Chains A and B, each alone.
Chain A
Amino acid sequence: MAEITLAQVSKRFGPVQAVTDLSLTIANGEFVVLLGPTGAGKTTSLRLVAGLETPDDGRVFIGGVDVTGLPPAARDVTFVFQQYSLYPHLSVFDNLAFPLRSPTRRTPEDEIRRAVGEVARLLRIEDKLQNRATQLSGGQMQRVAIGRALVRRPAVYLMDEPLSSLDAKLRSELRIELKHIQQDLGATMLYVTHDQTEAMTLATRIGVINRGRLVQIGTPRSIYEDPADIYVATRLGSPGINLLPRALFPTLEAPAAAATIGVRTEHLAIAKGQNGAVTGKVDWIERLGDQNHLHIDVNRQQIVSLVDPDEGLGVGDEVAVSLHKPLFFAADGQRVR
């Protein structure tokens, strides 16, 4: 286990600036999730740590050692790829044993058997050990791929959207398992995803990346409640945060620079009647069972709100809308307080 530091790292692929001036320190035992859309530079950042890419500028440190110029094998890392990167002609056991059988490690065979057995138990693939890698289902393959990372005790575990190719049920199961495993091992993990649920549930800290830049980093709670700009605010929350023009709520007290009001769906108070400062009309209701999504038309602005199914509101009802904890953003998207 070790601390990872990226110091002003930049990487460019031809005309594309993939990562710009990225500085980030991951403490020992921390689970950091990089969150961002496709093409934001998350994977490149991960590959820079792994040594699969060399930065154009900046340095990479693992455990205090400058590893910037070292190949992946010389860095003490494991990497789980988005695709099932198994060795197709090998059995599951041999796939899991592969990293241990590296000539630089010289692990004794009974030690290998013990380590592989342990990881297989952890990931519940014990009964598949003798199967060929290609005979597994997608979920099993990805568990083997994760297992291959876990079988070693590297300085840092790097994971590139390891769950994105799995179905929803398996994804949530493995998500919980992964978090348990990380806590049990006290592992340092850098994890890349575009899935906000994964980011929120797994991370000690979330780093939000946009166009190659780290926009904000902090605990899931602080990222959710205290976003630095509109981009970060829209990355989290489902349905997404409501972004409304300042003029829609003329009586609301707000900083002078505020141009946009951001309000999360659960921070809207909806009351039947027309006695509020701002009123709207219920346009549409999405019933999800445990909750309803209310689409409200306020002066031709769509607002989405979470309400209890027992609220008793119907389409066409007039409602009063008031805000809790609104967030204010300036015209350039930056947060104003």
Chain B
Amino acid sequence: MRAAYTPIEHRVRGLSDKAIAWLFIAPTMILLLAINLFPLIWTIQLSFTNYRANRPNAPLRNVGLDHYQTILSDPEIWQRMQATAHFVFWTILLQTVIGFALAYLIDRKFRGHGFWTTLILIPMMLSPAVVGNFWTFLYQPQIGLFNYVVSFFTGLAPSSFQMLGDVTLSPWAIIIVDTWMWTPYVMLICLAGLRSIPDYIYEAAEVDRASNWRQFISITLPMCLPFIMLAVLFRGIENFKMFDMVNLLTSGGPGSTTELASITLKRAAFEAWRTGYSSALAIILFVAVFGLANIYVKALNKVKAR
């Protein structure tokens, strides 16, 4: 048999296996380098300069770590970070709890099961721009449905509060919208987790006389945990970078109560045109997300390995 074997490289135009492999990978590699790695390196480089994108011909000066120092010692930046953390924490908490609960409810056989799943998934399929726009209408104090429903149940006058215009309410307004939009996504991942638990484990527990509650605590939850953690990771990274929807709803206002880190970044880069400064901020945010995600993934792997 061995003698009859002709290596592939002799058959394809004199190219070696390795060359062909590189040929196939090359387009993707070039694309990745061009749109991921190159901008990253350029951003790092710019973060050490006073470069302004609206004045490309101004003399370029190396400012060293000045931008980093300014940013990290700026109490306003820390306030934005706090707003971001608040947003990330509450959206993750609400989405995980509600998403898991929905998954748990939908993971049983009942009539119209597919219909309800599709219905629940709709918000996730909408564009954030659409969501931002129509929640602006829903939150409208005079004609908005949200204010109307709240007033219907609490007796408050509909126009007595403004979800998007109030300093204390606006952070919650964006949390509600994000939760509305992305809970289905968490539900979907949790549903995959629930479906991965084999029936016979529940049957064994039933024969062992475990109550429903005990089955939930000692089978459902632990076996679903890696999936839940994965959902938290995805939502955490996404919400740390949240920009489009919040920008449409509040543009960071009122004042700067809903100004998340990425909105600050956009303003510094494309309103104040402090390109060097905003590059430094972008790098700081990137390192923060990257570091946190890495620590989290380690924990996730530990849970998975159990």
Taking Cβ atoms with an 8 Å cutoff, the residues of A that contact B are 50, 52, 71-73, 77-79, 81, 83, 85, 87-90, 98-99, 102-105, 132, 134, 145, 148
Separation in Å of the A44 CB from the closest CB of chain B? 13
Are B206 and A73 in touch, CB under 8 angstroms? yes
Are A72 and B218 in touch, CB under 8 angstroms? no
Q: Which residues of A sit under 8 angstroms from B218, Cβ to Cβ?
A: 87, 89-90, 98
Are B198 and A79 in touch, CB under 8 angstroms? no
Greatest chain B CB density within 10 A among A77, A88, A105, A145 is at: A88
Contact of B222 with A by CB under 8 A: yes
Indicate whether A73 sits within 8 Å of B222 (C-beta atoms), given known contacts A83-B198, A85-B200, A88-B306.
no
Indicate whether A148 sits within 8 Å of B306 (C-beta atoms), given known contacts A52-B203, A81-B203.
no
Indicate whether A77 sits within 8 Å of B219 (C-beta atoms), given known contacts A83-B198, A88-B306.
no
Taking Cβ atoms with an 8 Å cutoff, the residues of B that contact A are 198, 200-201, 203-211, 214, 218-219, 222-223, 306
Indicate whether A89 sits within 8 Å of B208 (C-beta atoms), given known contacts A52-B203, A81-B200.
no
Indicate whether A79 sits within 8 Å of B204 (C-beta atoms), given known contacts A87-B218, A89-B223, A89-B306.
yes
Are A103 and B207 in touch, CB under 8 angstroms? no
Separation in Å of the B189 CB from the closest CB of chain A? 19
Q: Which residues of A sit under 8 angstroms from B211, Cβ to Cβ?
A: 102-103
Indicate whether A87 sits within 8 Å of B201 (C-beta atoms), given known contacts A132-B306, A134-B306.
yes
- Docked pose: A90 CA to B217 CA in angstroms: 12
- Docked pose: A83 CA to B202 CA in angstroms: 13
Are B207 and A79 in touch, CB under 8 angstroms? yes
Q: Which residues of A sit under 8 angstroms from B208, Cβ to Cβ?
A: 78, 98-99, 102, 148
Q: Which residues of B sit under 8 angstroms from A98, Cβ to Cβ?
A: 205, 208, 210, 218
Chain B: interface secondary structure?
Answer: helix
- Sort A-B residue pairs by CB-CB distance and give the 4 closest, nearest first: A102-B209, A85-B204, A99-B208, A89-B222
Separation in Å of the B305 CB from the closest CB of chain A? 9
- Docked pose: A73 CA to B211 CA in angstroms: 9
- Docked pose: A71 CA to B208 CA in angstroms: 11
- Docked pose: A73 CA to B210 CA in angstroms: 8
Closest to B211 in A: A103
Are A72 and B223 in touch, CB under 8 angstroms? no
Are A77 and B201 in touch, CB under 8 angstroms? no
Q: Which residues of B sit under 8 angstroms from A89, Cβ to Cβ?
A: 218, 222-223, 306
Closest to B208 in A: A99
Are A79 and B210 in touch, CB under 8 angstroms? no
Are B306 and A72 in touch, CB under 8 angstroms? no
Closest to B225 in A: A89
Q: Which residues of A sit under 8 angstroms from B214, Cβ to Cβ?
A: 102-103
Q: Which residues of A sit under 8 angstroms from B223, Cβ to Cβ?
A: 88-89
9 contacts between A and B (CB under 8 A): A52-B207, A77-B207, A78-B207, A79-B204, A83-B200, A85-B203, A102-B209, A104-B209, A132-B306
Are B210 and A50 in touch, CB under 8 angstroms? no
- Docked pose: A88 CA to B206 CA in angstroms: 16
- Docked pose: A145 CA to B205 CA in angstroms: 12
Separation in Å of the B208 CB from the closest CB of chain A? 4
Are A71 and B200 in touch, CB under 8 angstroms? no
- Docked pose: A145 CA to B207 CA in angstroms: 13
Residue in B200, B207, B219, B222 whose beta carbon sits within 8 Å of that of A72 in the complex: B207
Are B306 and A81 in touch, CB under 8 angstroms? no
Separation in Å of the A98 CB from the closest CB of chain B? 6
Separation in Å of the A99 CB from the closest CB of chain B? 4
